[in-house]
Amino acid sequence: MYKKVRSMEIFLDTAEIESIEKYSYFIDGVTTNPSLMALNKEKEPYKVIRRICEIVQGPVSAEVLSDQHDEMLNEGLALSKIGSNVCVKLPCTLDGLKVCKELSNQGIATNVTLCFSAAQALMAAQCGATYVSPFIGRLEDIGQDGIVLIEEIADIFAMQKIETKILAASIRNINHFTQALQVGADAVTLPTKVLEQCFVHPLTTSGLIKFKEDWRNRAKN
């Protein structure tokens, strides 16, 4: 049987159930964060994560709310019990990385978030992170080049044979999406708006109108 060989992963960056349901056939997983969770009408985050895990089979990144080691560890363990596809999202801080190491040692998938430098990405890899999430858009907000950072991390990871996957985050437009993959990201997480822009091109729209028109007028030729 034909087996599709593919390494790229496309995640949806949202906690909105309607969008996740709508695109579930298309996405490989979901990433959430406390800001995205706050937009959901359901105020119990564990219920939201449980529902997302029912909809998608791939990784669902669920972020801890605390920034203190012991609480983060407890939260991470609790989140990991919601579903076998939960990926515990931890901040790229000393405490967050320590928890990352502890969860990784237990075979729990992790996503180290708020990464803004290659050094931070290397620390995440050193702690066994499954994914590390460099934030492209937020770097650009302060005048730095997020795509260059992805490229830098990809080069070092390839050179050092590091298995942690680079998950390009804070994607604000289609160029971020394509360029991140072009320079070596393993995965991207797209806000719903950017995912929807990827399906659309004005020449596709006008081309379709022309095809229909030509077919309608065939008898006259």
**From 169, 180, 187, 194, residue interacting with ligand E4P (rule: CB under 6 A):** 169
Between the alpha carbon of residue 32 and those of residues 20, 126, 159, the distances in Å are: 11, 24, 30
Task: Tokens for 51, please give them.
Answer: 């529902």
Nearer CB in complex with ligand E4P: 12/125: 12
Does position 130 interact with ligand E4P (CB under 6 A)? The reply is no
Q: Tell me how far CA of residue 83 lies from CA of 1, 48, 73, 79, 169, in angstroms.
A: 30, 12, 17, 8, 23
Give CA–CA dist 23/194, Å, rounded: 13
Q: Is 89 a catalytic residue?
A: yes
| From 78, 117, 138, 152, residue interacting with ligand E4P (rule: CB under 6 A) | 138
135 lies in the binding site for ligand E4P (CB under 6 A): yes
Over the window 67 to 106, marking each residue x when it contacts ligand E4P by CB under 6 A and - when it does not, the resulting string is: ----------------------------------------
Return the residue of 40, 120, 130, 170 that touches ligand E4P, per CB under 6 A: 170
Nearer residue to ligand E4P within complex by CB, 88 or 214: 88
- Which residues on neighbouring strands pair with residue 31, listed in sequence order? 13, 61
- Determine which one of 3, 89, 193, 220 is catalytic: 89
Six-digit token pair at 150?
A: 């992805």
**Contact between 179 and ligand E4P per CB under 6 A:** no
| 31 binding ligand E4P? (CB under 6 A) | yes
Q: Which amino acid is at 154?
A: A
Q: How far is the CB of 118 from ligand E4P (least distance, A)?
A: 18
Handedness of CA 58, 72, 77, 54 (dihedral sign): negative
58 interacts with ligand E4P by CB under 6 A: no
Task: Give dist(CA 43, CA 9) in Å, integer.
Answer: 29
Report, as residue numbers or ranges, the catalytic residues: 89
